[in-house]
Structure 1
Amino acid sequence: MHLIGRFQESDIAGIAAQMAYFFLLSIFPLMIFTVTLLAYLPFTTDDLFALIKDFAPEETITTIQATVEEVVNTRNSSLLSFGIIATVWSASNGMNAIIKGLNHAYSVEETRPFYTNRGISILLTFGLILTVAAALVLQVFGRQLGLLAYSYFNASEELIALWDWLRWSISPILIFIVFMGLYYFAPSVKVKWRSVVPGAVFATIGWIAASFGFSFYVNNFGNFSATYGSIGGIIIMMIWFYLTAFIILLGGEINAYKNSETSSTT
């Protein structure tokens, strides 16, 4: 009951709405920066959006992909260096919003200097990009890696079949790692790794379930274009971001509650 009371007192709905706004501002710079990096890797933008399509509604993917490709194709190469710096800074705003939200969950003020706080936001953003890159490697080259192991190490066909299953089920593990990193590094309070596990487990399961459920509804029943016209894709994206922020905050509240319980017993 005390945990439910924390949910009610923390104004999670209001803070999630603020976070969704910053997610919207940061998603396009984040995707533009990621697509820019893909030019130096053996992946295509189609591979990237195919990976995201597993969790996001189709209209959201279409909106993001069209905007990102338009910006990337028209970008002035002479401004590339400055553009990347500005893009990374803008993309980190989403992480900065998560930091503020988790600080609120722990009922602590931000005590770290501005440059430290922003540096953590940027590092967490890079961590997210690296996680996406790892997922792309498993998705695009996973089969080839399995066949290489089969020929080089004489692995059995059963092991190859197991590897095929593992590489497609690795996404929840990567998502869990992302949430673990967020809950450990983001708050302006010292926490232990094991204390952030409950919230990370909840956020992983909750976010995957909410994303699949919302995507299924939008793709099969929702007709946001009839109400919102040409900005229907943006509205869908905002709702998805709101659900994401809400679940992140719930996970943070769970961790904060467990942390306060542990502190009171020591």
Structure 2
Amino acid sequence: MKKAQRPIPMSRRQRGGRFIYLLMAQLKTSGINDAAVVVAFWELLSLFPLIIFAGNVVPLLHIDGQNILDYAITAVPPTIAKQILPIAEHFMPKSGSNNSLLSIGAIGTWWAGSRGINALKRMMDRTYGVLGQQNPILLRMISLFMTVLLAIALVAIVVVFSFGQQVLDWITPLLNIPDTLSSWFSTLKWPVTSAAVFLMLVLIYYVLPNVKLRLRSVLPGAFLTTFGWLLLSQLFSLYVRYFAQTVLSYGTVGFFIVLLL
């Protein structure tokens, strides 16, 4: 009886080459490039309704809108933040919330955001090898539910971070907490923003695919995506500052080109 031959061990260079080959093959099979275009379109379309919705829901919660903007602009390139910031401040009424704009913003965000979530779900299912045809009505309901769930999670994170600062300011004189601790908490924009982005990505990676996953299996991907997101936002800002000023000089059209990139 012949003994089973042991596989020939590969060198580190061969393992690295095989990993890159399998990675490129998986990227091609899952159609990430095509899905990224669709997701970017729908998320861009939902951006301005989201700004309108957020600007009118902030007065209802009695939250300082400037605190939210300080955290939000940390997650995007500063060049883009400078363009969006005046729009966001314009839709934050000083006297109160506009119910009509609030409804329009909520409906627009829900509709466009759910289309982006739907495209993202199809891409993730294809990546995991789930190729069966799903019920379009059920798929649409899942997309709408995930949009609402992400919106609730986003609002919860904003409320916790906003009221966390207010609670700390309130208990500082009562418990004789040093003022340096309160000021230190208010400067933690990068850790707070990173944690918020990480939690949102964990929720997407764990709930959205039509596959039963363990929570720990999505943590490395969420961490890598969070790190890459924040790093690329800063690198992209440098690119725009030194190489894309000509594009930005075209005004609104240039801004949309940069935002799509």
- Global fold match (TM > 0.5): yes
CA contact (8 A) 1:47 1:136 kept: no
Greater alpha carbon shift after TM alignment, 176-185 vs 29-38: 29-38
1:111-260 counterparts in 2 under 5 A? 113-137=135-159, 140-155=162-177, 160=182, 163-164=185-186, 169-225=191-247, 228=250, 230-239=252-261
Deviation at residue 214 of structure 1 after TM alignment: 0.8
How high is the TM-score relative to the length of structure 2? 0.72
- Structure 2 segments unaligned to the other structure (5+ residues): 1-18
Equivalence for 1:27: 47
Per-residue deviation, 1:43: 3.2
Question: Aligned partners of 1:13 and 1:37: how far apart in 2?
Answer: 35
> Which structure: larger Rg?
2
- Which stretches of structure 1, 4 residues or more, deviate above 6 A after TM superposition? 68-73
Report if the CA contact (8 A) 1:99-1:187 is conserved.
yes
Q: 1:44 to 1:236 in 2, by over 3 A?
A: farther
Partner AA of 1:118 in structure 2: R
SS at match of 1:39: helix
> Using the alignment, how far apart are the partners of 1:177 and 1:78 within structure 2?
31
Report the RMSD for the aligned CA atoms in angstroms: 3.6
Structure with bigger helix share is: 1
- The answer as to 2:27 corresponding to 1:7 is yes
Alignment size in residue pairs: 238
Asked if the contact 2:58/2:92 (under 8 Å) is kept, the reply is no
Q: Over residues 191-245 of structure 1, what are the superposed CA-to-partner deviations in whole Å (9 max), with x where a residue is unaligned? A: 1211111211111111111112112322454214367554010001101xxxxxx
Shift of 1:141: 4.7
The residue aligned with 1:60 is 80
- Cα 1:116–1:71 change in 2 (3 A) is farther
Q: Secondary structure at the match of 1:15?
A: helix
TM-score (norm 1): 0.70
Structure 1 Cα separation of the partners of residues 66 and 186 of structure 2:
21
Q: 1:181 to 1:97 in 2, by over 3 A?
A: same
**Cα separation, partners in 2 of 1:112 and 1:148, compared to 1, 3 Å:** farther
Q: Deviations over 1:70-110 (max 9, x none)?
A: 7898xx96686576435422232222222122122212136
Higher relative contact order (CA 8 A, sep 6+): 1
Question: Is the contact between residue 248 and residue 255 of structure 2 (CA under 8 Å) also seen in structure 1?
Answer: no
